[in-house]
Amino acid sequence: MKCIPRIAFFLTCLVFLGACTSLKTSLVGTEHENILPFATQTVASLGGERLNFRESELTFLRVLYDEDAKELSELSRKMELADDLKSEIVQYSLELLRIAEMNGSEQDRVAEYVVALGAIGDRTPFQLDIEPTVLNAIVASIREQETLLAALRKADPLIERAGEQFDALAQQIEEQELVAAVQYLDSTIQQHFAVFLEFNAAMVERRDELLEGFTLVGQYRRGDSSAATRLRELNVILNKDIAVPDALTESQLARIEGYLLSEAQRDKELIAFLAVDVDAYLGTRVELEREEAEVLAALNAARLQVVAWTRSHQAMADGVKNPGTWLEVAMQAAQQTKQLLN
């Protein structure tokens, strides 16, 4: 079930990387931070849909979906952590825009930027996993800069690390938490419909036996005397009053055929009676596959967008005129992922 989202992800990565190469050469750099297009595109790209199973879209699976189950709650927790990082990226970008437009000197903006970085670090449970001495050295280097643009350049290792950890988190969700949640729901579905599935399997076997019985009756009529022995060994006729001798008369063949028809009609009525269970079982299966595919598509889109955001931040620090264009390309690539999935 995962091959389509993965193929879509790698295809859109190729599109994205190809576009990135042209962006590097087509946009002219200036010695000024272009934060407005960067912040605008960050909000448009990363401020959208949340990463989770959409319980509101569930119909058949809703009655089996226990959000307190360990596998489902762990998936939700990890997805919320990924969403928190996306939200922090958006908040950081808006804070950056506020700092760039504030009154005061460049040194005031640098000082405010350091404060904003610290506030984000204190607020989010997501850790950058950087050695304290290395982190302190980076922050000290940022604080020493004379312009906001220079400070943004010095912050690049932090931005890169945030992007790398988001990618690792998204991959972990895909390969561990999502797999565990899907396996749990799959097992829950099978257990819930166990009686129906067992009966359905028996009905399928019975149907095949009845069809073979009709076939053997026809073969006997066409002169195959061994068909009577095979019909008796098939044991499809459960009525003890109907005998299957080695030599069958037309009257006996008609009676056997009538019995097989009555059994087929009875089975047809039972199948109609079970139609609701059939719809419910198939509905849960369709919904589970759809939800898994949607989560995978959302994760892949978010990974592309966060990678694009780190590149956009680097372009902004380099003075590129429209750094948000990187995020525009990522949004297009994410849309292609969803289209390929559909």
Reported residue count of the chain is 342
**167 backbone dihedrals φ, ψ, rounded to 5°:** -60, -40
Do the Cβ atoms of 301 and 9 come closer than 8 Å? Answer: no
Do the Cβ atoms of 19 and 308 come closer than 8 Å? Answer: no
186 CB-near residues (< 8 Å, 6+ apart): 288
d(CA 191, CA 16) in angstroms, rounded, equals 43
CA 42 to chain centre: 22
Neighbours of 319 (CB within 10 A): 18
What residues are paired with 29 via a beta bridge? 320
| Each residue's pLDDT tens digit, 223-261 | 999 999 999 888 888 888 888 888 889 999 999 999 999
Do the Cβ atoms of 77 and 180 come closer than 8 Å? Answer: no
Torsion of CA 251, 256, 259, 264, to 10 degrees: -130
pLDDT at 298: 85
pLDDT bracket for residue 173 (50, 70, 90): very high
| Each residue's pLDDT tens digit, 291-341 | 898 888 888 888 888 888 888 888 888 777 666 565 666 566 666 655 655
pLDDT at 313: 86
d(CA 226, CA 64) in angstroms, rounded, equals 52
| Each residue's pLDDT tens digit, 26-48 | 333 344 457 887 788 788 777 76
pLDDT bracket for residue 123 (50, 70, 90): confident
First to last CA, the chain: 13
| Each residue's pLDDT tens digit, 62-74 | 888 888 889 999 9
Do the Cβ atoms of 242 and 256 come closer than 8 Å? Answer: yes
Where along the chain do its domains lie? Answer: 3-193+278-341
Q: Return the structure tokens found at 121.
A: 């670090």
d(CA 263, CA 188) in angstroms, rounded, equals 33
Q: What percent of the chain has pLDDT over 90?
A: 30
| Each residue's pLDDT tens digit, 266-298 | 888 888 887 888 889 999 999 999 889 888 888
CA distances from 252 to 5, 242, 274 (A): 59, 8, 33
d(CA 33, CA 313) in angstroms, rounded, equals 10
DSSP one-letter code for 141: H
pLDDT at 261: 92
- Diameter over CA atoms, the chain: 109
Is it the case that residue 2 has pLDDT exceeding 60? no
Rounded to the nearest 5 percent, the helix, strand and coil shares of the chain are: 80, 0, 20
Is it the case that residue 9 has pLDDT exceeding 60? no
